[in-house]
C-alpha cells in the first residue's frame, strides 16, 4: 500500500515536469538578468549627479567614522528593494529589483536602481529613511524629497529581496523533488542513490514520526503534502539564509510576513478540519466548574483566544529564532569594527575571536535550521490532530 502511495505521488509530480522545467528556466534567466542589471547599476551610480554623489560620500564617511552596529545588523536582516552584495569604497554593488506600485488608480513599474539607495525620488516616490514608514516607499511632495502626509495609501507589490529569495527557493524545491521523483521511478525496487538517498529518509521521518504519530494512521494522508511542503520550505530557506552569496543570504524565515502567512495556513486548515468535539471543548469544556462558564464565560473566552494564540506562537517562534541567529553572527562580526574604531590594533586582536565565534554560530545555525523546521511542522500536525480528536466518553 505504501509503495502504491509513493508511486502515485511521484507520478503526479512527473506530470508537471514540462511546466516546471520551463518555470525553473525562466527563474534562472531572471537571476542572470538581475545580476547583469546589478553590474550595470554600478556604472550608473558612478555617473549619478554630482550633488547626490557628494551627499552620499559624506554620509558614508560619517558612518565609517561612527560605526553603528545596530543599524548595520538591521539593514542586513530586514527586507529591501534591492539585493546589496558589497561595497567597494563609495561604489555599491547591488542587484536592482522591480518596484511595482499601485497608487491613485495608476500602476507604476520601475527598477529600484532609479531610487539610488533611497537618496533620490523617482516618479514621485522615494524610500522613506525615518519615522514609522522607514524602509517603505512613500509619495513625496512635488519637486521635493519630503514625504507627502496627505497622500493616499500605496499598494506595494514590489519584488523585494525576500520575495525574490522565495522564488529561488521554490525553483530549487521543484528541481530537487522532480529529480527525486525521476530517480525513484528509474530505480524502483532498488536502494536510493544520489539526492534521493538524502531526501527520502527525511520524507519518511516527517510521515512516520510527525504525521502518523500525531494525527493518526487513518487521517494523516490528507495533511502530509502540506506538512512536507512546510518542512522543506522552512528547512531550505533556513539553510539558504546562512550562505552570504547572491542569490542566497536573505532572511526569509526571519520575516514576520512570511512566518505569519504559514501560521495563517495552519490556522485555516485547523479550523476547517475541526469536528464538533473540538468546538465543544472551546465553548463548553467538560470537567470545568460551572462558575468558570456562567455568568462570566471566562473559560470559553480563554479557549477561544487560544485558537488564535497557537498560530501566533508559531509565527513568532520561527521569526525570533532565525532572526536571533543572524543577529548574533553579525554582532560578532561587528565587534571587529567597534574595537577597530577605538584603536586599529584592538580590531586586529579581536578579529580571530569574532571570526571563530561566528563560525561556531554558523555551525550551530545548521542544527537550528532543522530544529525550527521540525518544530513548526510538529506543532502544525499537533493542531490538526487536536482538531479531529474524537469524543471520549470516559470524560463523563
94 DSSP assignment: E
pLDDT tens digit sequence for 138-171: 888 887 778 877 788 889 899 999 999 999 999 9
d(CA 379, CA 376): 5
The answer to whether residue 81 scores a pLDDT higher than 50 is yes
Could you tell me which residues come within 8 angstroms of residue 2 by beta carbon, excluding any fewer than 6 positions away?
A: none
**Could you give the percent of the chain with pLDDT greater than 70?**
79
48 DSSP assignment: S
Cα–chain center distance at 35: 21
| 15 C-beta neighbours (distance < 10 Å), count | 11
Cα–chain center distance at 38: 23
The answer to whether residue 230 scores a pLDDT higher than 50 is yes
C-alpha cell at 42: 554600478
- Domain boundaries along the sequence of the chain: 17-159, 163-389
Q: Name the 3-class secondary structure at 32.
A: helix
Q: Quickly state the pLDDT bin for 191 (edges 50, 70, 90).
A: confident
Average pLDDT, the chain: 79
Please tell me the predicted confidence (pLDDT) of residue 332.
87
Cβ atoms 97, 112 nearer than 8 A: yes
The answer to whether residue 61 scores a pLDDT higher than 70 is no
Please tell me the predicted confidence (pLDDT) of residue 105.
84
The answer to whether residue 19 scores a pLDDT higher than 70 is no
Question: Mean pLDDT across the stretch 78-86?
Answer: 85
Please tell me the predicted confidence (pLDDT) of residue 290.
66
Q: Name the 3-class secondary structure at 302.
A: helix
The Cα-based distances of 232 to 75, 170, 203, 364, 385 in angstroms read 27, 10, 9, 19, 21
pLDDT tens digit sequence for 299-331: 778 888 888 999 999 999 999 999 998 898 888
pLDDT tens digit sequence for 238-295: 999 988 888 888 899 999 999 999 999 999 999 998 888 887 777 776 766 766 677 7
Cite the beta strand spans of the chain per DSSP E: 82-88, 91-96, 98-103, 106-111, 125-127, 137-139, 155-156
Amino acid at each position: 500500500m505504501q509503495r502504491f502511495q509513493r508511486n502515485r505521488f511521484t507520478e503526479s509530480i512527473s506530470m508537471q515536469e514540462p511546466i516546471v522545467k520551463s518555470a525553473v528556466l525562466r527563474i534562472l534567466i531572471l537571476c542572470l538578468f538581475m545580476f547583469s542589471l546589478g553590474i550595470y547599476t554600478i556604472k550608473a551610480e558612478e555617473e549619478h549627479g554630482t550633488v547626490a554623489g557628494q551627499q552620499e560620500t559624506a554620509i558614508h564617511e560619517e558612518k565609517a567614522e561612527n560605526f553603528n552596529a545596530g543599524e548595520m545588523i538591521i539593514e542586513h536582516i530586514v527586507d529591501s528593494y534591492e539585493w546589496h552584495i558589497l561595497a567597494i569604497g563609495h561604489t555599491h554593488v547591488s542587484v536592482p529589483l522591480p518596484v511595482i506600485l499601485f497608487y491613485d488608480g495608476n500602476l507604476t513599474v520601475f527598477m529600484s536602481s532609479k531610487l539610488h539607495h533611497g537618496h533620490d525620488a523617482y516618479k514621485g516616490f522615494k524610500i522613506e529613511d525615518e519615522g514609522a514608514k522607514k524602509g517603505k516607499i512613500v509619495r513625496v511632495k512635488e519637486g521635493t524629497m519630503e514625504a507627502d502626509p496627505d497622500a493616499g495609501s500605496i499598494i506595494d507589490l514590489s519584488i523585494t529581496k525576500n520575495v525574490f529569495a522565495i522564488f529561488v527557493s521554490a525553483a530549487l524545491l521543484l528541481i530537487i523533488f522532480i529529480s527525486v521523483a525521476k530517480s525513484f521511478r528509474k530505480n524502483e525496487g532498488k536502494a536510493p542513490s544520489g539526492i534521493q538517498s538524502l531526501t527520502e529518509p527525511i520524507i519518511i521521518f516527517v510521515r512516520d514520526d510527525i504525521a502518523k504519530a500525531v494525527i493518526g494512521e487513518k487521517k494523516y494522508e490528507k495533511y502530509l503534502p502540506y506538512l512536507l511542503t512546510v518542512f522543506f520550505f522552512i528547512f531550505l530557506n533556513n539553510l539558504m539564509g546562512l550562505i552570504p552569496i547572491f542569490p542566497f543570504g536573505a532572511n526569509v524565515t526571519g520575516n514576520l510576513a512570511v512566518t505569519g502567512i504559514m501560521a495563517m495556513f495552519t490556522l485555516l486548515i485547523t479550523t476547517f478540519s475541526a469536528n464538533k468535539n473540538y468546538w465543544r471543548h472551546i465553548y463548553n469544556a467538560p470537567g470545568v466548574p460551572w462558575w468558570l462558564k456562567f455568568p462570566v464565560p471566562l473559560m470559553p473566552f480563554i479557549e477561544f483566544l487560544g485558537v488564535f494564540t497557537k498560530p501566533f506562537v508559531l509565527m513568532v517562534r520561527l521569526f525570533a529564532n532565525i532572526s536571533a541567529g543572524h543577529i548574533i553572527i553579525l554582532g560578532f562580526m561587528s565587534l571587529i569594527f567597534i574595537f577597530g574604531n577605538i584603536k586599529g590594533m584592538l580590531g586586529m586582536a579581536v578579529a580571530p575571536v569574532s571570526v571563530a565565534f561566528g563560525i561556531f554560530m554558523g555551525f550551530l545555525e545548521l542544527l537550528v535550521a532543522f530544529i525550527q523546521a521540525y518544530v513548526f511542522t510538529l506543532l502544525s500536525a499537533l493542531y490538526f490532530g487536536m482538531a479531529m480528536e474524537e469524543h471520549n466518553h470516559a470524560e463523563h
